[in-house]
Chains A and B, each alone.
Chain A
Amino acid sequence: MTLDEYNRAVDEWADRIYRFVVKSMHDEDGARDVVQDSYEKMWRHRENIDGTKVKTYLFTTAYHTMIDHLRKNKREVVGDPSEHVTRHERNGFSDLQEVLHEAVSRLPEKQRSVVLLRDYEGYSYREIAEISDLTEAQVKVYIYRARVFLKKYIGSIDVVV
């Protein structure tokens, strides 16, 4: 990977990786650190990186760096659909996407990451499996469970509203 390819990777993927990480961590400063660490790792290993697989390398590195960061700070958020109602009433969501993003923030770590990779980046189950170091079957299970959680979350809002 050349210097120019590296700088192009910054311009092209930094925002999307940051968005994925900040939605997964709910910590902007932590997400910025994760993105910077990810790019530093890529820079250090640039001699062995194929320039055509930069995006997958970055998301994979960012995912594992984020997991390490969360474990160090023990900030994993475990979702419970029944806990949201009070917050919803206080915040007053205006549309479904806001509710969904609020619901995603309450998903378990792995479910949140894989559903974000699926919906935000459009990765296939196989690609998500490679990035998250899971099996393809595990990815499908996590995504299915995340969908069920989101449905229950939205459904409970409908009942309240």
Chain B
Amino acid sequence: MRITTENYEEFVLDYLEGNLDPETRKELEAFFAEYPRLSPDEEGLSGFRLQPEALPMTGKEALHKSLYDTTEGLEEAAIALSEGDLSKEEAAGFQQWLENHAEAEEMVNQFSSLKLQPNTQIVFPDKANLKRKSRVLPIWWSVAAAAVLALGIFLFYPEKDGTVQQLSNPEVAEAPVSAVQPEVVSGKKENERGKGEDNEIKLPKENVVTERPVRVAEVRQVKAKTEPKETQIVPERVAMNIPDPMIARVIRFDTRPEKVVMVIDYETPQKTLAEEVPVVDLLDKKLANSLHSGDRELLSPDNIALGGLQLIARASGDRLVGKRGNDGEIKSISFHSRLISFSLPVNKNR
């Protein structure tokens, strides 16, 4: 390119900054030699550099955009506002933004007007057919199952040897207890003697005398017969409830005008009996004893009944439990489920 008075200016800055290639530089210097008045003042030009001034823009914050400035954000906020999904702070911020954006406010109003109102005239004609019948059948099944279970327990729960509270037991009522030599019966002895002879009465607890450090067994005073026997000693019938696992011994007898108090000491059993025992456990023992007993045939009606009852007990699980009384004996059978709950007293005679 030939340097002329028309184009020399575009080379001057590169020349002053040393960015020209040697050939162009040589040509430019020859040009300046030919036109010395056009030669740049190197020192004079290099000193005129502008320094930036601190000139901040006021109101710069107004340039910021929010999510509402986007189409998606605005629509989402408009819908949320019409649905009432915005928090108080969000709604206030959005309303403030809308004050400066009239065109957006119109769109928000459109969204608000788009909410549909339900037409209550439209109803489903066959609604009655959709209704379900009440759960009669399952409840009757449950009631029937419970009845069968209760019947099975009533019929086949075997009689357990031991004490049964029967106030009207004539044999016990006739057995006199000497005021001076009362018989102390431990649980084990009571059980042994109770086999085959129901001469023992356990009466409800009424009078309890406690002396420390020993404990007093429960003693119930029973009215003596109005007609005394040949001796002048007024007989008294006494029934005692002493738990099976307790071993008692007589400490002393306190003879009082109205009654005789027998003070006994007994050892507290190491293991307390649970108040509730799963029936399945009880039947396990009962069935095992029955199957190994020589008194009954293997397929005797009682064994079959016990087996059936065992099946029911296993199906019921923990919901079918036997509840112990104060004496540790099973007093009742209880069944609890969401549909039905019942409790049946145990008939020890069966």
Contact = CB atoms under 8 A, between A and B. Distances in A.
A43 B60 contact: no
A3 B63 contact: no
Interface in B192-250: none
Contacts of A104: 50
Interface string B244-280: 0000000000000000000000000000000000000
6 contacts: A3-B66, A32-B57, A32-B59, A43-B69, A120-B50, A137-B10
Interface string B116-135: 00000000000000000000
Contacts of A101: 50, 53
B64 A151 contact: no
Nearest to A16: B52
Interface in B89-139: none
B6 to A, nearest CB: 10
B10 A10 contact: no
Contacts of A120: 50, 52
A148 B49 contact: no
A154 B48 contact: yes
A141 interface: yes
B45 A147 contact: yes
Interface of B: 7, 9-14, 40-41, 44-45, 48-53, 55-60, 62-67, 69-70
Contacts of B64: 7, 10
A66 interface: no
A148 B45 contact: yes
B276 to A, nearest CB: 67
A15 B63 contact: no
Interface in A5-34: 6-7, 10-11, 14-16, 18-19, 22-23, 32
Contacts of B60: 10-11, 14-15, 18
Interface string A107-128: 0000000011001100001000
Nearest to B73: A3
A145 interface: yes
B44 to A, nearest CB: 5
A93 interface: no
B12 A144 contact: yes
B9 A14 contact: no
Q: Looking at A6, A11, A15, A144, which has the most chain B CB atoms within 10 Å of its CB?
A: A144
A69 interface: no
Given A14-B57, A14-B60, A145-B9, A3 B65 contact: yes
Nearest to A4: B65
A156 B55 CA distance: 28
B57 A15 contact: yes
B247 to A, nearest CB: 86
A10 B63 contact: yes
Contacts of B56: 15, 18
The 4 A-B residue pairs with the shortest CB-CB distance, nearest first, are A18-B57, A119-B50, A137-B10, A150-B48
Contact of B10 (A16, A19, A100, A141): A141
A59 interface: no
Nearest to B69: A43
A115 B50 contact: yes
A28 to B, nearest CB: 9
Contacts of A36: 62-63
A100 B48 contact: yes
A151 B45 CA distance: 6
Q: Looking at A19, A154, A155, which has the most chain B CB atoms within 10 Å of its CB?
A: A19
A19 B67 CA distance: 28
A150 B146 CA distance: 112
